[in-house]
């Protein structure tokens, strides 16, 4: 189970960590924290030294009811960051969190290695053809609607069945276009209630369709801090607890705010799995 990132083969049979770098002013946990070159470089340096395999950079907050950001503004935010990271960390594997094909094209041409799309191509009809042309790994997430509308679209007859049906259609379309490296993200918190998020985690192993790696993005999310009556800032312990469950149920990538703790979780999991 490998993916090709700029000629570097990454073996996902052993779980890996994807560190989150939000360069938005309004992300739910770290919005506005990384707004100058020094703080950005320091944070990425920390995440890489703590064991992150991927750095996922986003310039459009996808939290529920997040404000709309134009394509021009997204590009203005993210392109300088990609250039900065490529120059300082040339061997790093940079993922770009975007649902826009033009942002994907520009950032890959600037040195990013993969695209993480919350909409699996549904919010931009040019995304899948663009990924096929760029020949980069593609993370496709399950969501309904947009960040502005998704929390009104949480009615499912069978949640996991609906997600797998969604992915099966997306996989066929991607394969028909020649996209090779696919990663599935079931989208915790995206068009799902708190209870549905726990149902999804409880049945996470059922997402292992087509023998593709599955990513778990649960770091500090509301399913944790609302259940425990905490804030996102206080949700690290709960995050780690759920990360172990995700790993035991087959997660191959943990997308996280806290790399050191996620890496420790994987190390302990590997001992169980040995």
| Nearest CA among 142, 149, 147 for reference residue 119 | 142
Residue 93: strand, helix, or coil: strand
* Rounded-to-integer distance, Cα 238 and Cα 243, Å: 9
Of 144, 192, 220, 255, which residue is the catalytic one? 255
Is 271 in the active site?
no
Distances in Å between the Cα of 3 and the Cα atoms of 44, 182, 210 are 22, 8, 15
Angle at 184 between CA 181 and CA 190, to 5 degrees: 145
Q: What is the DSSP letter of 151?
A: G
Q: Which residues, 6+ apart, have CB-to-CB distance to 190 below 8 Å?
A: 62, 118, 141, 142, 143, 144, 150
Is 249 in the active site?
no
Distance spanning both ends of the chain, measured CA to CA: 18
Of 16, 170, 221, 263, which residue is the catalytic one? 221
Give catalytic residues, as residue numbers. Answer: 221, 255
């Amino acid at each position: 189970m490998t993916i090709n990132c700029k000629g570097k083969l990454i073996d996902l049979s052993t779980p890996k960590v994807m560190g989150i770098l939000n360069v938005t002013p309004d992300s739910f946990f770290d919005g506005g924290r990384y707004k100058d070159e020094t703080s950005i470089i320091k944070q990425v340096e920390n995440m890489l030294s703590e064991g992150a395999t991927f750095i996922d950079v986003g310039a459009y907050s996808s939290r529920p009811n997040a404000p709309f950001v134009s394509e021009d503004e997204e590009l203005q935010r993210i392109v300088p960051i990609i250039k900065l990271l490529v120059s300082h960390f040339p061997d790093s594997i940079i993922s770009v969190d975007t649902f826009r094909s033009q942002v994907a094209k520009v950032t890959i041409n600037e040195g990013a290695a993969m695209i993480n799309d919350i909409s699996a191509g549904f919010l931009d009809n040019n995304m899948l053809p663009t990924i096929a042309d760029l020949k980069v790994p593609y993370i496709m997430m399950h969501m309904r609607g947009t960040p502005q509308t998704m929390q009104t679209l949480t009615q499912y007859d069978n949640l996991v069945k609906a997600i797998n049906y969604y992915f099966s259609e997306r996989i066929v379309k991607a394969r028909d276009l020649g996209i090779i490296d696919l990663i599935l993200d079931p989208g915790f918190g995206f068009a799902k209630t708190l209870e549905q998020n726990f149902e999804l985690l409880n049945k996470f192993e059922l997402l292992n369709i087509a023998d593709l790696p599955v990513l778990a993005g649960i770091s500090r999310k509301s399913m944790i801090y609302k259940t425990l009556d905490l804030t996102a800032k206080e949700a690290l312990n709960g995050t780690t607890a759920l990360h172990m469950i995700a790993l035991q149920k087959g997660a191959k990538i943990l997308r996280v705010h806290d790399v050191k703790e996620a890496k420790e979780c994987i190390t302990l999991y590997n001992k169980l799995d040995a």
